[in-house]
Amino acid sequence: MKWFQSVLAGQIRLRLAYPWGFWMSLLAELFIVGAMNWFLWNAVVDSRGGVGFEGYTTMTLVLYTMITSILRKVQVNSDQFAGMAEDIYTGALNKYLVYPIPYFGFRFAMHLGSSLISLCQSVMALALFWAIMAQGSQPLPGIGAMLQFLILVFVSIALRFVINSAIQATAFWFEQIWALLVLFSFLIALLGGQLIPLTLYPAWAQTILAYTPFPILAALPAEALLGKLLWGDFFWGLGIGGLWTLVFYGMGNLIFRMGVRNYSGIGA
């Protein structure tokens, strides 16, 4: 697995060489997300006659949306979002097909390297905001919460990668797959609890979504970091996330192999 370590290390060095663009976009996004959600949730509580949501203060809800916003940046790197489809469209895939390493593994090593740097930078920024602005409303996470969070984040990184890969592999037949990737992002926002905690959804919706891959991509890691995820729910989410990762990995590989059979590499 030396090749995997080499690709991973190379991607990490690349991201560390140009950190300021990420920091600027991260801080601006966190400021905008935090400010918008602060006013939004205050307005919602006011409309309820000052009655809040059980288990959530206004600051806790703001932290929740900031965490899910960070998760999106960690799971989806701008340079990897449609990288496989771009290779297919431009013919750049040709050079990867002759490498003595699996193409999916190569792409995942690049993706993981970017995600690791994004995770470290994002957690540092969130911790600073949390300690200064929100510690009075929501205590800092303990060791158990951090352990749950990190495990779920790494599973979510792998899951988001294989889902995106399965979608991008359809680029062998479709001229444009960007809309499918964006549609999936909207599904995560709606069904994964990216905007609103899933615990605020109706009970029947929570039961159904517990069997889908969406919660582990947003809601479960955020609830874990806030100390609201029970260990039973953690292991259930971990199992479901691992199962869907295997399903989409197999699906993506199958679609990719079918596409490569008739791939001409025009444009290379």
Write the pLDDT tens digit of every residue in 100-123: 888 888 888 888 888 888 888 888
In which band, very low, low, confident or very high, does the pLDDT at 87 lie, cut at 50, 70 and 90?
Answer: confident
Cα–Cα separations (whole angstroms), residue 65 to 8, 38, 57, 69, 172: 29, 10, 13, 6, 36
The whole-angstrom separation of Cα 259 and Cα 84 is 12
**Burial category of 141 from C-beta neighbours within 10 Å (exposed 0-12, middle 13-18, buried 19 and up):** middle
Q: Which tops the pLDDT comparison, 9 or 148? A: 148
The whole-angstrom separation of Cα 198 and Cα 206 is 7
User: For the segment 252-267, what is each residue's pLDDT rounded down to a tens digit?
Assistant: 999 998 988 878 766 5
pLDDT of 83 reads: 78
Domain boundaries, the chain: 2-261
Can you state the percent helix, strand and coil of the chain, rounding each to 5?
75, 0, 25
Nearest to 117 by CA among 224, 248, 16: 16
pLDDT of 16 reads: 72
Over residues 57-65, the mean pLDDT reads 86
The whole-angstrom separation of Cα 167 and Cα 165 is 5
User: For the segment 25-58, what is each residue's pLDDT rounded down to a tens digit?
Assistant: 667 767 777 778 788 887 887 777 776 777 788 8
The whole-angstrom separation of Cα 237 and Cα 241 is 6
The DSSP result for 14-78, as a single string, is HHHHS-HHHHHHHHHHHHHHHHHHHHHHHHHHHHTTT--BTTB-HHHHHHHHHHHHHHHHHH--T
pLDDT of 97 reads: 81
* Cα diameter, the chain: 65
Nearest to 249 by CA among 156, 159, 151: 159
pLDDT of 268 reads: 47
Look-up of token digits 């479901």: 240
pLDDT of 220 reads: 95
The whole-angstrom separation of Cα 235 and Cα 238 is 5
User: For the segment 178-209, what is each residue's pLDDT rounded down to a tens digit?
Assistant: 888 888 888 888 899 888 899 889 999 999 99
Produce one character per residue of 214-252: b if its CB has 16 or more CB atoms within 10 Å, e if not: bbbbbbbbbbbbbbbbeeebbebbbebbeebbeebbebb
* pLDDT of 71 strictly over 70: yes
pLDDT of 69 reads: 86
Q: Cα angle vertex 235, ends 234, 238, to 5°?
A: 85
In which band, very low, low, confident or very high, does the pLDDT at 239 lie, cut at 50, 70 and 90?
Answer: very high
pLDDT of 104 reads: 86
Handedness of CA 43, 49, 55, 59 (dihedral sign): positive
User: For the segment 123-171, what is each residue's pLDDT rounded down to a tens digit?
Assistant: 888 888 788 777 777 788 889 999 999 999 999 999 999 999 999 999 8
Average model confidence (pLDDT) across the chain? 85
